[in-house]
Amino acid sequence: MTKYYILFGPPGAGKGTQATAMVERYNLHHISTGALLRKEIAAGTELGLKAKELIENGCLVPDEVVEGMIESEFRTIKGVDGFLLDGFPRTIAQAESLDALLSKTGEQVTATVSIMIPDAMIMERIKGRALKEGRADDASEEIINNRISTYHQQTEPLINYYKNSDKYHEVDGTGNIDQVKESIFAVMDKF
Ligand code: AMP
């Protein structure tokens, strides 16, 4: 049965970094809605143009936009044991829509792996990443703060959503890359 893992956590928790190790070990296809959106922006598509301003202000793009991206990845990617959703869902509406989509084929979310770091560490991690990756939405403290509050208001309620269905597994994201990776593998090895 196809596995559907959600990689959850605040911005800067290290989701992208850990995703690389996870997809390799468990033969998963990595879907990062943020990376897909950045690709649309770089290609100058209509969708990219619409998403650009929202992303560069630290706001979320509309649910339908990312839901469509997820559906199309599920439909087109074959030959993997499962999918690793990174940065999706980010709202309760997106989580409900994911459940509805999977239930059409009698499937469900396998587990949510949450990488947790305190707010104080978010800023520091993102500033480090900005020097390496040059993302426009990593460029100013104001935008980063906006993303942190967007996370608390719109995304954090998902913790209870997945706790309620016993799918929530949290790891401590404050250690180094290898320590966090081992904690994640310890959770994933159970599924
Ligand atoms: P990320 O690379 O996951 O940090 O995403 C970068 C930005 O893309 C976010 O700050 C949002 O503006 C947008 N984005 C990514 N994923 C989603 C999502 N699931 N829902 C809405 N907006 C998203």
Domain of residue 147, CATH code: 3.40.50.300
Question: Does pTM top 0.85 for this prediction?
Answer: yes
Residue 4 · residue 144 · CB < 8 Å: no
Residue 81 · residue 26 · CB < 8 Å: yes
Q: Which of 107, 96, 146 is nearest to 138 (CA)?
A: 146
Q: How far is the CA of 37 from the centre of ligand 1 (A)?
A: 8
Residue 132, domain extent: 3-174
Domain assignment present for 92: yes
Q: Which atom of ligand 1 is found nearest the CA of 89?
A: 19
**Which listed residue (3, 38, 52, 90) is catalytic?**
90
Domain assignment present for 189: no
90 is catalytic: yes
Q: Which residues contact 174 (CB under 8 A, 6 or more apart)?
A: 117, 118, 121
Ligand 1 pocket check for 66: Cβ under 6 Å: yes
Q: How many domains does the chain have?
A: 1
Domain assignment present for 81: yes
Please choose from 56, 59, 90 the residue to mutate so as to test ligand 1's pocket, defined by most ligand atoms within 8 A of CB. Answer: 90
Domain assignment present for 190: no
- SS3 of 107, please? coil
Angstrom distance (rounded) from CA 82 to CA 78: 9
Domain assignment present for 134: yes
Cis status, amide bond into 89, omega within 30 of 0: yes
The 10s digit of each residue's pLDDT in 162-181 is: 999 999 999 999 999 999 99
The 10s digit of each residue's pLDDT in 118-165 is: 999 999 999 999 999 999 999 999 999 999 999 999 999 999 999 999
